[in-house]
Amino acid sequence: MEADYVIVGAGSAGCALAYRLSEAGASVLVVEHGGSDAGPFIQMPGALSYPMNMARYDWGYRAEPEPKLGGRALACPRGKVIGGSSSINGMVYVRGHARDYDHWSASGARGWGHADVLPYFERMENWHDGGHGGDPDWRGTDGPLHVTRGTRENPLHAAFVEAGAQAGYPLTEDYNGRQQEGFGPMEQTVWKGRRWSAANAYLKPALKRDNCDIIRAMVTRVVIEDGRATGVELAGRAPVKARREVILAASSINSPKILMLSGIGPATHLAELGIPVVADRPGVGANLQDHLEVYVQMASSQPITLYRYWNLMGKARVGAQWLFTGKGPGASNQFESCAFIRSRAGVDYPDIQYHFLPIAVRYDGQAAAEGHGFQAHVGPMRSKSRGRVRLRSGAAEDAPVIRFNYMAHDEDWADFRACIRLTREIFGQEAFAPFVSHEIQPGAELQSDAEIDGFIRDHAESAYHPCGTCRMGAASDPRSVVDPEGRVIGVEGLRVADSSIFPRITNGNLNGPSIMVGEKMSDHILGRDPLPRSDKRPWINPDWRTAQR
């Protein structure tokens, strides 16, 4: 069992890497612990709450109790299946803001500014505007990743965008184009009614080539001989050899775990567990970031929400329609309108994201007891709080210790209060007058800072966007784990390419940026010149210094 490149993890970045490296003629072996992504729970977009809560598809990680969130231990689902988290996520497609990547570059990840990464987003996309307009000059149309827009048939989607305009916010035809800021249609990785995961987009076409294969196994550590990675050890079977490189694309939780099990990480932590130190990199497992959000839920005065399907017969009808026609409510993730806004004057680009959903429901599929309703998922984009991932023991089968350290800064609380108050203002606009009955949660009686803080403490949930634990930066920076070409500092023949390398979390959902990392890293690995830099300039609100909207 050997190949030129051994990729650990068949997730968003790993699938893209397998496709591009095998396309170039190299032999590729992907090692994935999870099994098949076949079956309606994954492939039907409307069933998204199921795979995320199924042990068959999820590593089942839970974070440690959060001191600032009343000691709650939040779920941290990560995909354990072909396609990784792109097979269990909400299918929302967001590139991130141009300024996010310029910040990466300024932080030491040279060559990862917006002008550098935009050509890779364009290369990977097969964008379909669905007649809703957009920014075609900024989009790709012949890549493997289909990006579409929902039908937006439910009148609540239009009401949300209209309410944003009535509240004085800009509209945007394409938040993944020139102008992220504003209210408009949301995009999804769905194609012909099916989840268009990284497995469907990249891995399955790659596996049709003779030089790409996949094995199902759990990686216990990277084999390092004389300072060079030569392969990986697997639980219960013979090791795999890499003739050229080992590439970790195992997620922001499992990539640092595998590095530490292999002797790469904070020397004192490894020594405590009796793991011989190969490279002392204190940044391994540090810099953990995530997006936290709450659901602001309103009861609907009209029976027009998706709640009408929230019964056995309704779900059966939706499932049957999707199975036989590929259409209907099951063919969309239902996140079809959204917004990116700034929390206050002096913030130069959006720091709040909205997902709008025409039902009041939780990620675990529990509908609001009050019946018909709708909700906005809202939360700050750039918290200063940082957590970390550490080993629980030296045994690969033990889950790591995940501490997010949410809401550790006073600024986090101020930002979150702003999120809730701005959302209430949007739901109070004339566009929602025909639809709003009353506020389900937080509940109109909660108004003071202390009352809102209590709601946040009890109800804030992860948006499931962990990243940053193998930070990319200058090789001279002791906090860096990988250099700007993804090479692990201090070890030859080993790279990391997934969301763990993000220096700072990007605006919005992370699947798109994670796939982009796989695309761009493939050129670095192959020794190719990067794609030519883009000269496109993003829109920044000209009044950002003096106005919130």
CA atoms of 324 and 419, how far apart (whole Å): 41
- The per-residue DSSP string of 404-456 comes to --TT-SHHHHHHHHHHHHHHHHHHTSGGGTTTEEEEEES-TT--SHHHHHHHH
Helix (H) or strand (E) holding 222: strand 219-225
Both tokens of 472, joined, read 């990319």
Both tokens of 426, joined, read 């949007």
**HSE, side-chain direction, 13 A CA sphere, residue 107:** 21
Say whether 118 sits in a helix, a strand or coil.
Answer: helix
CA-to-CA dists, residue 166 to 162, 182, 427, 542, angstroms: 6, 12, 11, 20
Q: Indicate the pairing of strand 2-8 with strand 28-32.
A: parallel
Q: Is 1 marked as binding a ligand?
A: no
CA atoms of 390 and 378, how far apart (whole Å): 29
Q: Is 92 marked as binding a ligand?
A: yes
Q: In a 10 Å sphere around its CB, with 0-12 CB exposed, 13-18 middle and 19+ buried, how is residue 330 labelled?
A: buried
Residue type for position 447 = Q
By the 8 A CB rule, do 42 and 34 touch? no
Residue that has been written with the tokens 């307009």 in this structure: 133
Task: Note the Cα 507 to chain centre separation in Å.
Answer: 10
By the 8 A CB rule, do 296 and 378 touch? yes
**Per-residue DSSP letter, 275:** P
CA atoms of 189 and 147, how far apart (whole Å): 5
CA atoms of 256 and 329, how far apart (whole Å): 38
Residue that has been written with the tokens 């959000």 in this structure: 293
Q: Which of 97, 372, 465, 524 is catalytic?
A: 465
Q: In a 10 Å sphere around its CB, with 0-12 CB exposed, 13-18 middle and 19+ buried, how is residue 70 labelled?
A: exposed
CA atoms of 523 and 21, how far apart (whole Å): 9
Both tokens of 342, joined, read 């700034």
Q: Indicate the pairing of strand 61-62 with strand 75-76.
A: antiparallel
Q: In a 10 Å sphere around its CB, with 0-12 CB exposed, 13-18 middle and 19+ buried, how is residue 326 labelled?
A: middle
Q: Is 219 marked as binding a ligand?
A: yes
Q: Is 90 marked as binding a ligand?
A: yes
Active site residue 132: no
Q: Indicate the pairing of strand 264-265 with strand 279-280.
A: parallel
Peptide bond into 155 cis (omega under 30): no
Strand 187-188: give its sheet, edge to edge: 125-127, 145-149, 187-188
Q: Which positions make up the binding site for FAD?
A: 81, 89-92, 219
Q: Which residues are catalytic?
A: 465
Q: Which positions make up the binding site?
A: 81, 89-92, 219
